[in-house]
């Protein structure tokens, strides 16, 4: 019952398996729809949770948005770094969606339905394990295909650090859902919510960080 109340209050949605995500502040569905959906998803969730628990009582899986996955080569880097982290296994990483599914054990399993605490603990471990190169966030409310994709041509270095620097310039902007940045391909790609942000905003941020756009002159 506590889980139900939690979900209702926080307007959360459940994923397949039994994974649960934390509040999505930008997701604003009408209250009735949300309530109905939540109830349905909760029932489904209860069923899948029970099935999973019957199969494996020692691990559970959760899916998150993986921040810091700005180039394809970073998938391997993430997996390598996480191999050293105890009580966490990487079940899968998708560069295309920018999501990771983690297999959780021991202290990382959901306890007392405190999802915020769970994500905080997980995120801490991921950040420490990857020395700040990656972090977790709640999954996307909508698939990327439903977002607006923009490509910003970039010139200059094909340096991993600089690609990450450009990524860091925009990935936390409001309305930005996913960013990839590959100076080797001389472009930065972002999936955005057009009502919230736009290309100009991103370009301005990049220029502020001294990232050189293909059609601008160097400073």
Partner 1 sequence: MTNRIPLSARLCLCACILLVIPSAKAADFFETHCVDCHNATTTEGGLNLNDLSREVDDKALFARWVKIHDRIRAREMPPESQPQPSKQERDEAVAALKRSLIEAEAQLHQADRTRVRRLTRVEYENTIRDLFGMRLQLQERLPADGEVHGFDKNSDALAMSHVHLAKYVEAADYILDLAIATQPKAPEVEKYHISPAEDGGVSLLAAFNGGAVFLRDKQPDPHHPPVVEGIQHVDRGAHKILGMYENAESVGIHRHEDESFAPRFQAFTAIYPARYRVRTSLWSYTWDKGEVKPARGTEAVRLTMVQLKGNGRHNGHPSYLIGYFDAPSIDSQFHEFEWWFNPKDCLGFNVALAPVHIYHQYKRDLNSFTGPGIACDYVEVQGPLFDSWPPPAHRQLFGELPMVEFDANSQATTYPERERPRQKVTGAKNRAQEYQGNWTVHSETPGKDARRLLAVFLPKAFRRAVSDELIDSYASRVKQRLDAGDCFELSMRYAYRAALCSPDFLYHVEPAGQLDDYALANRLSYFLWNSMPDNELTELASDGTLRKPDVLQRQVERLLKNRKSNRFVTDFCRQWLRLGDIAANDADRKLYPEASIYLQNSMVAETEAYFRELIDSDLDATHLIDSDFAMLNEKLAVHYAIDGVSGSRIRKVPVPEDSPRGGFLTQASILKVTANGTTTSPVPRGAFVTERLLGQPVDPPPPDIPAIEPDVRGATTIRELLDRHRADPNCAGCHSKLDPTGFALESFDVIGGYRERYRTIEGDEAKPERILLDPHLHVRFRLGPDVDPSYQLADGRTFADIDELKKHLIANPDPLSANVARHLTIYAAGRELGFRDRDVIARIVTAAEPGGIRSIIHQVVQSRLFHTR
Which residues of this protein are in contact with partner 1, per CB under 8 A? Answer: 131-133, 156-162, 164-169, 209-212, 217-219
Compute the least distance from the CB of residue 156 to partner 1, in Å. Answer: 5
Q: Is the distance from CB of 153 to CB of 181 less than 8 angstroms?
A: no
If the CB atoms of residues 110 and 190 are measured against partner 1, the closer one turns out to be 190
Cβ-based neighbour number of residue 35 at 10 Å: 14
Give the nearest distance from C-beta 112 to partner 1 in angstroms. Answer: 33
Residue 95 and residue 30: Cα distance in Å, rounded? 32
Q: Which is nearer to partner 1, 2 or 131 (CB)?
A: 131
Nearer to partner 1, 169 or 176 (CB): 169
Q: Which is nearer to partner 1, 24 or 169 (CB)?
A: 169
Beta carbons within 10 angstroms of residue 216's beta carbon: 14
Chain-centre distance for alpha carbon 16: 16
What's the min distance (Å) between Cβ of 62 and partner 1?
24
Structure tokens at 139: 């999954």
Residue 12 near residue 29 (C-beta atoms within 8 A): no
Taking the complex as a whole, the smallest distance from the CB of residue 136 to partner 1 amounts, in Å, to: 16
CB closer to partner 1, 195 vs 217:
217
Q: Which is nearer to partner 1, 106 or 132 (CB)?
A: 132
Is there a contact between 94 and 72 (Cβ–Cβ < 8 Å)?
no
∠ CA 157-160-162, rounded to 5°: 55
Question: What minimum distance in Å lies between the beta carbon of 91 and partner 1?
Answer: 24
The secondary structure element, H or E, covering residue 73 is helix 73-82
As given in the structure block, the two tokens for residue 114 are 């405190």
- Contacts (Cβ under 8 Å, ≥6 apart) of 34: 11
The CB-of-163 to partner 1 minimum distance in angstroms stands at 8
């Amino acid at each position: 019952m506590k889980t139900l109340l939690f979900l209702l209050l926080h307007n959360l949605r459940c994923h397949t398996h039994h994974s649960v995500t934390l509040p999505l502040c930008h997701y604003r569905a009408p209250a009735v729809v949300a309530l109905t959906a939540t109830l349905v998803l909760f029932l489904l969730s209860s069923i899948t949770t029970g099935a999973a628990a019957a199969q494996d009582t020692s691990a559970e899986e959760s899916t998150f948005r993986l921040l810091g996955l700005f180039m394809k080569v970073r998938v391997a880097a993430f997996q390598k770094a996480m191999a050293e982290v105890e009580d966490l296994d990487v079940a899968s990483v998708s560069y295309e969606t920018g999501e990771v599914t983690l297999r959780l054990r021991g202290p990382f399993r959901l306890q007392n339905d405190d999802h915020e605490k769970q994500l905080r603990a997980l995120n801490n471990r991921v950040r420490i394990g990857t020395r700040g190169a990656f972090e977790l966030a709640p999954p996307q409310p909508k698939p990327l295909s439903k977002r607006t994709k923009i490509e910003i041509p970039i010139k200059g270095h094909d340096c991993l650090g600089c690609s990450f620097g450009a990524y860091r310039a925009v990935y936390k902007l409001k309305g930005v859902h996913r960013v990839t940045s590959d100076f080797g391909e001389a472009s930065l790609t972002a999936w955005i919510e057009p009502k919230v942000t736009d290309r100009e905003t991103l370009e301005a941020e990049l220029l502020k960080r001294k990232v050189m756009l293909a059609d601008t002159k160097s400073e």
